[in-house]
A and B are shown apart, each in its own frame.
Chain A
């Protein structure tokens, strides 16, 4: 009975895109296929598990949900590259097609499937249009953002129309890495363009740090007190440092963050959660417990498997030494509270992961 907040179900594919893409992109697809948006990093150098598939709902049911005892599975797709498209109309069409495909082909198959909706984040007006089209759908639990080296950091007011709509509809922003296969990112690490997938994937937390710093110190959570961010697959052992540093430096340089009314750490505590995957693996396993403590406790984490990718985590990856209470929060309760998944029914009991 767990909730998994990151599952990459396949997109419409060759058969599906012509059905779901609107014109003129349907005709374009039939002529040329999807647009190629590559940064020089080969996604396949990480890619998926060789023994697993999320190509069809039945695969995910059999290989994940039934196997581990999932109560809910948040479908997050494979749409990251479109966040880097320089053409917002194209991005909007792809997002709409992906959403319609998921709603029609995945959600009806299994009540455990929930979804994160795609939006063209590079064009807030078009993103809001898509949010307004779909918000209120009971199975949509978040808005997907692809967190990389964006043109504009997430704290800046370019994004405020999206945040206004997200807050109004009670939809958290679910941030997932994307930089690997996009061209819009100015770089694949904070230091510049790195050589390969391994280096790019290890550099992902750099972007998350920069986005959190921007979100908090711009005062986004003062402007949108109901807005929430889930930071997925970007690590979290860095979060203690970033929070401590923001608090420390804010005390002296508050004049540059005048919209804040509380310490930066308090905004992170109240508005941000971190996905567990890829699970941090300190050389000394007991350090993981210290890490959770430094982060602010098990309340700050939501479980993610990242199925079916190469760095997938089983729900049993969390150390038992965390204790039953903490495990229940991370594997279930925090997601209910943060994303608004349905509470356990009276006849349901928490049973952990299989």
Chain B
């Protein structure tokens, strides 16, 4: 495992995000409510800088057709074509195979650290 410090927690307030560069790759750090996410800044659709998009919850539908809004399903939407990706898993919300690369992230002693898998 290769945890690396990419930012200071005090520089990424809840509700904000920051794009950092790690080994030549741009990675977006998102602080949503009390959770942190790290995703690659490259939409699998057309390669847009997805981390310049917006974070939403998710409109959901139960088995009886009733609609509600899941505030905890943190969803990143691309600024170009508005595709939705789950910030936790990187999976597209629509039933399509595209996936956004996500990285393990943690906060340790006030430092935001991610694991890019690099040895």
Contact = CB atoms under 8 A, between A and B. Distances in A.
Interface string A252-268: 11111011111100000
Contacts of B84: 252, 254-255
Given A258-B60, A258-B61, A252 B67 contact: no
B24 interface: no
B108 interface: no
A223 interface: yes
Point out which of B58, B59, B78 has the most chain A C-beta atoms below 10 A from its C-beta.
Answer: B59
A311 interface: no
B82 A253 contact: yes
Contacts of B92: 251
Contacts of B58: 255
Contact of B95 (A222, A223, A258, A263): A263
Contacts of A254: 84, 93-94
B81 interface: yes
A112 B30 CA distance: 67
A84 interface: no
A252 B94 CA distance: 8
A263 B61 contact: no
Given A223-B65, A263-B94, A263-B95, A255 B59 contact: yes
A262 B95 contact: yes
Nearest to A262: B95
A219 B93 contact: no
Contacts of B65: 219, 222-223, 259
A258 B73 CA distance: 14
Interface in B31-71: 45, 56, 58-61, 65, 67
Contacts of B61: 219, 258-259
A223 B61 CA distance: 11
A250 interface: yes
Given A250-B94, A251-B94, A263-B96, A258 B83 contact: no
Interface residues of A, number: 16
A251 B59 contact: no
B94 A258 contact: no
A261 B95 contact: yes
Contacts of A260: 95
Nearest to A263: B95
Contacts of B96: 251, 263
A252 B93 CA distance: 10
Interface in A36-79: none
Contacts of A262: 95
A263 B92 CA distance: 12
Nearest to A249: B81
Contacts of B81: 251-252
Nearest to B96: A251
A165 to B, nearest CB: 18
B82 A258 contact: no
A255 B73 CA distance: 13
Interface string A322-333: 000000000000
A250 B94 CA distance: 8
A262 B60 CA distance: 14
Interface in B81-100: 81-84, 92-96
10 contacts: A251-B92, A252-B82, A254-B84, A255-B56, A255-B58, A258-B59, A259-B67, A260-B95, A261-B95, A263-B94
Given A255-B58, A256-B59, 18 more contacts: A219-B61, A219-B65, A223-B65, A251-B45, A251-B83, A252-B77, A252-B82, A252-B83, A253-B82, A254-B84, A254-B94, A255-B59, A255-B84, A258-B60, A259-B65, A260-B95, A263-B94, A263-B96
Top 5 nearest A-B pairs (CB, nearest first) are A252-B82, A258-B59, A252-B81, A255-B59, A258-B61
